[in-house]
Structure 1
């Protein structure tokens, strides 16, 4: 019976997925009622409710009781929150190998730099706000690194690529946990914080100038440099040299 119930709610999910893929359902549309779906698919209403709960947790629909235009289950236009939540749950449940996190960061943030430097209307205001926040005196390593993670997320969100932004948001807890763990191995945190501030400002300056090649090199050196300095990864021969940030960009 339990196995049949699982198959039933998955049948509902598959049906709704098909409607989305075929364009019969679009963002903003209301799903058929529980009763109608149950009759059409030959399943119990409890199975439909279970499928709706799964879709709501995934951020694909929102549900509201009552009557009127906002009642029922409605497809959400930008379900990035669901993707972020699923990634966070995966991190919490299993964790990701550090090498995979670093490689994924490099791929995602490289795409962010490309999107920003090739955009005519890029907006890095939030990233600049994070730079100013990281200049505050007496920040603990944990506080500084939390702002650091928010800085990188702000750049991702500014790229206007909702998938990349959602993935970065979902990986944020994993990224933070690793960089926080590495901070205790750094003998002179004050010097490291100064270095990271300069690297951040140099990176944003190149992004704002639309200099993609320089920004990508700075980003890769910034990410791999910290993990190496913290003893989390070993420097590879293929890693780019760590550039000295231009003091005029500080």
Structure 2
């Protein structure tokens, strides 16, 4: 195989990922269905079982499947969601397969989410789902990972409330990248309790500004919220 072809050939776990996604998009697999056993997938696709496990892990992170150990009808990997449209599916694969530079994700978030909150503040918007997520984030029993997963879902919920399907698909595609850099940054924080408390207050301020129709304040709060965490975790120096 020429060197250029070898450089662009998909890795084994990407082959598995693409095969499963094709089954999801074509309807051969849907919510409630189980993935074939690890051994069967490996044999069918001509890859190692470790590659199957890596692809399954990526799909679980993206929220498309859930895995359960043990035996019985609930064991194994079960489909719980489908890719949310062509753009979302493409971007999710891009994020999972190669990732984006953290700085680029942050810049994109500033553009998209600043626009989202500005538009939400300009007209009536259903913010009940976003508010429920903030209530859930007040639980003192959340782990860092659980808190940050709810955090990412909160930001996605605002995009969904805006009703722009392209923006929503883009945010859904970026979700795994957002969670990944948030988790990576949390490890360098001097005090997770202090940071999480501040994040809760910032979320509430963003939502309050939207509800009161203060578009400039909502955009300013959102920009400060996103940039502040990025700066605090020193991700720019990684």
Superposed pair shares fold, TM > 0.5: yes
Matches within 5 A, 1:1-250: 80-119=84-123, 121-233=124-236
C-alpha contact (below 8 Å) 2:115/2:219 kept by paired residues: no
Q: Distance in 2 between matches of 1:126 and 1:86?
A: 26
Q: Which runs of 4+ in 1 moved over 6 A?
A: 55-58
Q: Distance in 2 between matches of 1:156 and 1:95?
A: 21
Question: Cα deviations across residues 169-207 of structure 1 (Å, max 9, x unaligned)?
Answer: 010001100000000000100000100000000010000
Q: Distance in 2 between matches of 1:182 and 1:153?
A: 20
Q: Distance in 1 between matches of 2:200 and 2:221?
A: 13
C-alpha contact (below 8 Å) 1:203/1:218 kept by paired residues: yes
Q: Larger relative CO (CA 8 A, sep 6+): 1 or 2?
A: 2
Question: Cα deviations across residues 199-227 of structure 1 (Å, max 9, x unaligned)?
Answer: 00001000011100001100000000001
For structure 1, the residue ranges without an aligned partner over 5 or more in a row are 1-52, 64-78, 235-250
Which shows bigger deviation, 90-99 or 204-213? 90-99
C-alpha contact (below 8 Å) 1:206/1:214 kept by paired residues: yes
User: What's 1:10 paired with?
Assistant: none
C-alpha contact (below 8 Å) 1:58/1:83 kept by paired residues: no
C-alpha contact (below 8 Å) 2:134/2:154 kept by paired residues: yes
Q: Distance in 1 between matches of 2:166 and 2:219?
A: 20
TM norm structure 1: 0.62
Q: Look up the SS of the partner of 1:233 in the other structure.
A: helix
C-alpha contact (below 8 Å) 2:119/2:215 kept by paired residues: no
For structure 2, the residue ranges without an aligned partner over 5 or more in a row are 1-18, 29-82
Cα RMSD, aligned residues only? 2.2
CA 90–199 in structure 1, closer or farther in 2 if over 3 Å, else same: same
Q: Distance in 1 between matches of 2:174 and 2:236?
A: 18
